[in-house]
Amino acid sequence: MKIPSLVSVLLLLLVSGLASCISVNREIPAERTVVAKTEFELWQALRIAVDLSDYPVGGGADSAKREILSGWKLDLAPYRGKGFRTRVIASYQPSEDATTQEPLEAFDVTIRVEKDTNESYRSLDPAYAKWEGAPDDLVAAKTIMQRLESLLGSGEGPAGR
């Protein structure tokens, strides 16, 4: 085997090895523009939507930063790699693109449900957990977004007035 072909084969193996190490984008957020009467109303609805999804909100909620970082929710399983934990990362900002009627304000909301799998062989004991990153749970993020929109309603008040 000639040296140039050996170098090209090694280079090909190196590039394919690096490509396999580069993970696919793990952040999969649910993003939507929603309307609310006030920013405070949106903040309260977002906290309630996260809480209704059984994620502990607690001290991870910062209205000044306009974000919520929930605590971890565990879902342990008896087999390695089957148990996981998830947490919500939600944020919003006033929308600059949306046009709304005068009494309402538009906000761009982003909700992620970060997920880690438990790669420990003692998978039912959280003390021995070995958490490794996994792709986000988009279905859970969309569910929380739907709860948020349901809590906000159409923003027009009762009976669509």
pLDDT of amino acid 17: 47
Q: What's this model's pTM, rounded to 2 decimal places?
A: 0.76
* CA dist 124 → 57, 76, 116, 135 (Å): 24, 6, 15, 22
What average pLDDT does range 40-50 have in this prediction? Answer: 96
Token duo for residue 93: 């900002």
Domain locations in the chain as residue ranges: 26-155
More confident residue, 73 or 98: 73
Kindly report which listed range (4-18, 86-100, 116-130, 133-147) carries the lowest average pLDDT score.
4-18
The beta strands (E) that lie in 47-123 are given as: 61-62, 67-69, 73-75, 84-94, 105-118
CATH number for the domain whose boundaries are 26-155: 3.30.530
pLDDT of amino acid 13: 52
Sign (positive or negative) of CA dihedral 54, 136, 70, 33: negative
Q: How many CB atoms are closer than 10 A to CB 21?
A: 7
More confident residue, 1 or 121: 121
For 16-33, how does the pLDDT look when each residue is reduced to its tens digit (9 = 90+)?
444 444 444 478 899 999
Is the per-residue pLDDT at 58 higher than 50? yes
Mean pLDDT (the chain, rounded): 83
Is the per-residue pLDDT at 6 higher than 80? no
The region, left, alpha or beta by phi > 0 then psi within -120 to 50, assigned to residue 47 is alpha
Q: Which alpha helices (DSSP H) does 22-117 contain, by range?
A: 39-52
What is the end-to-end Cα distance of the chain in Å, rounded?
80
Which helix (H) or strand (E) element contains residue 36?
A: strand 30-36
Is the per-residue pLDDT at 102 higher than 90? no
